[in-house]
């Protein structure tokens, strides 16, 4: 029998319990940095050294982090469901936990790509992941973070829409749903598709959908989700 498709959209809150800062919570990254300077395409053209510095710091933080109970719970759901994760996160904690199908909407922290040819993508290693304006690829071209900057297109949005359209169940975890086009994905779910939303705080969720709210952090919230799904 075919497994049901469980599509999961995750945001920064998914990794909060791993010690990675969210963006818009109090004390979050966008209180400490000017988003226009470090994460926009204009900022990159203006001062690439500063942008590299910001992502080097993110990588350093990621190297000290481990997947949390939430990430691990989603791996266990693969036994019963065809689980596809669509993440806005640029960390690799879903993969490190063991999830097998992960689509990164906003890029990947541990990758860089050529500034000349965007199809040349390079995986960084934990012991060699400091990048700066002098870093060159094997063709001698400078590299940039493999990150979707604000002001750039989101190349993975169409495959993500396809997944949400096929969802038998949709789960949203740890995203404030402030950033489009990711926040608009929910609208592609079929009207009858059950939607669960795990977040300890109130979220800007669409009001035209019947959403089951699990008002908990990712770890406890995924455990509760598993209980609910097992009873079905
Ligand atoms: N478990 C689950 N959710 C949590 C937890 C937790 N322990 N702690 C905080 N949250 C929730 C917050 O309540 C909030 O709703 O995580 C959400 C984080 O929201 P944002 O900081 O806005 O992060 P996100 O929605 O992922 O941001 C989207 O914005 O800056 C860009 O490109 C960046 O991908 C990012 C995008």
Instruction: Identify the pLDDT of residue 231.
Output: 87
Cα gap 86→128, rounded to integer Å: 27
- Compute the distance from residue 175 Cα to the ligand 1 centre, in Å: 4
Whether 53 shows a pLDDT value over 90: the answer reads yes
- Compute the distance from residue 218 Cα to the ligand 1 centre, in Å: 11
Fold designation for 1-20+68-106+154-232: Rossmann fold (3.40.50)
pLDDT band at 139 (very low <50, low <70, confident <90, very high): very high
Calculate what percentage of the chain has a pLDDT beyond 70.
100
Q: Which residues contact 52 (CB under 8 A, 6 or more apart)?
A: 131, 132, 133, 135, 145
**Atom number of ligand 1 nearest to Cα 28:** 21
Query: For the chain, which residues make up each domain, given as ranges?
Result: 1-20+68-106+154-232, 22-64+112-147
**Atom number of ligand 1 nearest to Cα 23:** 21
HSE (side-chain half, CA atoms, 13 Å) at 32: 11
Q: What is the pLDDT of residues 80-108, one digit of tens each?
A: 999 999 999 999 999 999 999 999 999 99
Beta carbons of 56 and 129 less than 8 angstroms apart = yes
Alpha-carbon distances of 40 from 12, 48, 96, 99, 106, rounded to whole Å: 18, 11, 28, 29, 12
pLDDT band at 206 (very low <50, low <70, confident <90, very high): very high
- Compute the distance from residue 137 Cα to the ligand 1 centre, in Å: 33
The pTM is what?
0.97
Fold designation for 22-64+112-147: SIR2/SIRT2 'Small Domain' (3.30.1600)
As annotated, the active-site residues are: 106
Of the candidates 92, 94, 87, the residue with the CA atom closest to the CA atom of residue 72: 94
| Sheet with 107-114, edge to edge strand ranges | 121-123, 107-114, 143-147
């Amino acid at each position: 029998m075919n497994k049901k498709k469980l599509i999961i959209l995750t945001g920064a809150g998914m990794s909060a319990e791993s010690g990675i800062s969210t963006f818009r919570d109090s004390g979050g990254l966008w209180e400490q940095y000017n988003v226009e300077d470090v994460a926009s395409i204009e900022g990159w053209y203006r001062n690439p050294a500063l942008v590299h510095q910001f992502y080097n710091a993110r990588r350093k933080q990621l190297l000290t982090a481990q997947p949390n109970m939430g990430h691990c719970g989603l791996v266990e759901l693969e036994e019963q469901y065809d689980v596809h994760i669509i993440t806005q996160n640029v960390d690799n904690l879903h993969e490190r936990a063991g999830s097998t199908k992960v689509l990164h909407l906003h890029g990947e922290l541990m990758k860089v790509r050529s500034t000349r040819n965007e199809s040349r993508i390079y995986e960084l290693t934990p012991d060699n992941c400091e990048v700066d304006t002098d870093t060159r690829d094997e063709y001698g071209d400078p590299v940039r973070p493999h990150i979707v900057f604000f002001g750039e297109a989101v190349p993975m949005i169409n495959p993500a829409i396809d997944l949400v359209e096929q969802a038998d169940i949709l789960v949203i975890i740890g995203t404030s749903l402030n950033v489009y086009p990711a926040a608009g994905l929910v609208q592609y779910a079929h009207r009858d598709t059950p939607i669960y939303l795990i977040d300890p705080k109130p979220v800007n969720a669409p009001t035209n959908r019947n959403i089951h709210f699990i008002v908990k952090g990712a770890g406890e919230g995924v455990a509760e989700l598993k209980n609910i799904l097992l009873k079905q």
